[in-house]
Amino acid sequence: MSNLIKGNAIATDEWTIVQLPAAKEEVRKQAGKVVLFKLTGEDLPTSEQVAITVVPASGKILVPLAVWLARKAEFTDRLNQGKIGIWLATHEPLELLATTDLNLFPVIAVYVERFPDGRIFSLGNLLRTRYGYKNELRAFGDVLRDQLFFLKRSGFDSYLIRADRSAEDALAGLRDFSEPYQGAVDNTQPVWRRYSRQAAHPQPKKVAPSHATAGDLD
C-alpha cells in the first residue's frame, strides 16, 4: 500500500525521486555562501554530483534542485508534459529559485533528513507565501505522524510517510487540533480574526469565515 498522504487521504504515488549520488570529497565553497556553510555546517551538492546524477528516461520524476538548475535544458519537453518536479533539502537556499516560475512544477518536494529539523516548516511557508507556489508541496524523508499538523499548517499538502510507519495511522496527526491560535499558511487568519472572542462571554461567536478557513479546520 502507498505510504503517501495527499490532502487528507492515502493516495497512489506517481512520482519517482531521483537521488543524488554520494558526495566524494570536500565541497568547494561557493562564493557568497560562506556564511551559510559556517552556520549550518551543511554542504550543497557538488557540480560533480550533479553531473553524474542518473535520471530515468521516462515517467514522472522529482529531480534534485541542483540537478534541475544545472541541467534544465535536458528537461524542457518533460517539464511541458507535466512530468518534472523538483526536490530540495532543508539546508538549500530558496533564493536559488528566485528566477524560476515554480508553478511549472506539478510537485515540489522538501526532504527532511531528521524529523527535528524544523527548517522544513519555514521553507514550506516561504514557498507558498513568498514564492507563490500553488501546486502540490510534498514532505519526504523522516516524515512522521506527530509533525503532520505543523507541516499542513506550513503549506504542505502531501506527505510521504517514512516507509516503516503506517500512513493510515498518520492521517490522525492531521487532525490534532481543531482551532489553532495563530494565522499560518493553511489558514492565514489568527483566531481573533476568525471569531469574535469576548472577555465577558466565554462562548465565542464565529465571524464570517474567510475562504481560507472553509473546510480546513475539521
Partner 1 sequence: MYIYDDIDQRLVDERVAQYRDQTRRFLAGELSDDEFRPLRLQNGLYIQRHAPMLRIAVPYGMLSSRQLRKLGDIAKRYDRGYGHFSTRQNLQLNWPKLEDTPDILAELATVEMHAIQTSGNCIRNITTDQFAGVAPDEVVDPRAMAEILRQWSTFHPEFALLPRKFKIAVSGTKQDRAVVQMHDIGMEFYLDAHNKLAIKVWVGGGLGRTPILGSVIREHLEWQHALTYCEAIIRTYNLYGRRDNAYKARIKILVKALGIEEFKKQVEAEWAHLKDGPNTITEAELSRVAKHFEPMPYETLPAHDSSFDSAIASNPAFAAWVKRCVHPHKTSGYRAVTLSLKKHGQAPGDATSEQMHTVADLADEYSFGELRVSHEQNLILADVKLSELFALWEKARTKGLATPNIGLLTDIICCPGGDFCSLANAKSIPIATAIQAQFDNLDYLHDIGDIEINISGCMNACGHHHIGHIGILGVDKDSAEFYQVSIGGKQGNDASIGSVIGPSFAAEEMPGVIQKLIDVYIKERTPEEHFIDTVRRIGLAPFKAHVYEKESANV
Binding site for partner 1 (CB under 8 A): 35-36, 38-42, 115-119, 121-123, 125, 129-130, 144, 146-147, 149-154, 172, 176-185, 188-193, 195, 197-204
To partner 1, the closest distance from the beta carbon of 159 in angstroms equals 14
Residue reference for cell 552556520: 39
* Residue 15 bridge partners (DSSP): 60
- Pairwise CA distance, residues 192 & 207, whole Å: 10
Please identify, using beta-carbon distances, which residue of 125 and 135 lies nearer to partner 1: 125
How far apart CA 165 and CA 60 sit, in angstroms, is: 24
Question: How far is the first Cα of the chain from the last one, in angstroms, to the nearest whole number?
Answer: 26
Give me 8's grid cell.
487528507
The letter for the amino acid at 21 is P
Comparing CB distances to partner 1, the nearer of 53 and 138 is 138
Residue placing its CB nearer to partner 1 in the complex, 5 or 151? 151
Which of residues 28 and 33 has its CB atom nearest to partner 1 in the complex?
33
CB of 110: closest distance to partner 1 in angstroms? 13
Instruction: Report the nearest approach of partner 1 to the CB of residue 15 (Å).
Output: 25
Which one, 56 or 190, has the nearer CB to partner 1?
Answer: 190
Instruction: Quote the Cα angle for 189-140-69, to 5°.
Output: 95
Q: Shortest approach of partner 1 to residue 180 CB, angstroms?
A: 6
In angstroms, what is the minimal distance from the CB of 27 to partner 1? 15
Beta-carbon count within 10 A of 14 CB: 12
57, exposed or middle or buried, with CB in 10 Å at 0-12, 13-18, 19+? exposed
